[in-house]
């Protein structure tokens, strides 16, 4: 005997709450009643499987972002690995999310291609409160950059366009409270003097394994001008 399908009679708002418990890739492959509900999900998560021989999650990211139409995105997490084709325009997906009042972005890229440049509108996003950039990402900050709501910033093993890129980025964050920077010896990030001048900053974690013990470059340094800092950096 067929049971009554009461779940399909639920409102879209309730279905969205249920779908938030599922991985994004699973939420996009459901029955006819649920088929289009995922387009309104406020939180999206795309992560590679870790198997280099498997198909990249990029195809799902690209396809789903074309149809996603929620008025705002609370959180977008993108984790792309070596499976991702090097000609994939992953930055355009970020640009679309920003246009939907993105609040939190966690972006990790570990592929065989060159570091990618984030879309310019990311650096002028008024709603962004948390930004995590890791891996093959080129930080190139435009002159019109303005991140008035950003309170947490994580930069891990990224590459900066020039010596002043990170300075321009930090100067656009008037309410930044938490900064986490990791610089790796495996990545030449174009910065010798890393300057942190953020009056609002309360917490700073600075991990530098970029320079070796026998590095005789005296110009390599960390400059801190944060009068309200309550947690000291470490190297």
| CA dist., res. 41 & res. 39, Å (int) | 6
DSSP state of 231: B
Look up the pTM and report it: 0.82
* Sequence-ordered alpha helix ranges (H) in the chain: 12-19, 24-27, 58-67, 90-98, 165-171
CA distances from 133 to 128, 177, 182, 212, 215 (A): 13, 17, 11, 24, 27
Q: What is the distance between the alpha carbons of residues 191 and 166, in angstroms, rounded to a whole number?
A: 9
Decide if 230 is inside a domain: no
Please check whether residue 113 lies inside any domain of the structure: yes
Establish if 154 belongs to a structural domain: yes
> What is the sign, positive or negative, of the torsion defined by CA atoms of 118, 210, 201, 234?
positive
Measured torsion, CA atoms of residues 61, 88, 159, 105, in degrees rounded to the nearest 10: -10
pLDDT digits (tens, 9 = 90+) for 1-16: 455 455 555 555 555 5
Question: Residue 138 is encoded by which pair of tokens?
Answer: 């080129």
pLDDT value of residue 35: 57
* 122-156 tens-digit pLDDT: 999 999 999 999 999 999 999 999 999 999 999 99
Greater confidence (65 vs 175) lies with: 175
CA distance 25 to 189: 34
pLDDT band for position 51 (50/70/90)? low
Query: Residue 108 and residue 134: Cα distance in Å, rounded?
Result: 5
Domain span at residue 56 reads 10-224
Structurally, the chain folds into a number of domains equal to 1
- For residue 229, is it within any domain? no
- Four-residue CA torsion sign, 51, 52, 56, 57: positive
Residue 233 lies in a domain: no
Is residue 235 a part of any domain in this protein?
no
Q: Does the residue 134 lie in any domain?
A: yes
**Mean pLDDT, rounded, of the chain:** 83
Q: How many residues does the chain have?
A: 235
Q: Which of 10-14, 49-53, 114-118 has the lowest mean pLDDT?
A: 10-14
The beta strands (E) that lie in 48-186 are given as 75-80, 104-109, 116-117, 130-135, 137-139, 152-156, 159-160, 178-184
Residue 109 lies in a domain: yes
Read off the CATH number of the domain in which 71 is found.
3.80.10
């Amino acid at each position: 005997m067929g049971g009554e399908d009461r779940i399909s009679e639920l409102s879209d708002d309730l279905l969205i709450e249920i779908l938030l418990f599922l991985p994004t890739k699973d939420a996009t492959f459901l029955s006819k009643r649920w088929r289009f509900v995922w387009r309104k999900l406020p939180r999206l998560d795309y992560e590679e499987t870790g198997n280099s021989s498997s198909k990249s999650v990029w195809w799902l990211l690209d396809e789903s972002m074309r149809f996603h139409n929620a008025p705002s995105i609370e959180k977008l997490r993108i984790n792309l690995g070596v499976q991702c084709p090097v000609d994939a325009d992953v930055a355009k997906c970020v640009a679309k999310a920003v246009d939907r009042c993105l609040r939190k972005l966690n972006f990790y890229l570990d592929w065989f291609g060159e570091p990618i440049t984030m879309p310019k509108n990311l650096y002028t996003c008024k709603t962004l409160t948390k930004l995590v950039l890791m891996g093959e990402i080129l930080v190139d900050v435009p002159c019109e950059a303005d991140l008035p709501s950003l309170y947490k910033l994580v930069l891990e093993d990224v590459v900066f366009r020039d010596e002043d890129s990170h300075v321009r980025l930090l100067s656009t964050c008037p309410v930044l409270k938490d900064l986490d920077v990791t610089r790796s010896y495996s990545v030449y990030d174009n910065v010798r003097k890393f300057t942190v001048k953020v009056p609002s900053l309360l917490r700073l974690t600075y991990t530098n394994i970029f320079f070796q013990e026998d590095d005789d470059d005296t110009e390599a340094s960390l400059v801190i001008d944060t009068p309200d800092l309550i947690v000291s950096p470490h190297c």
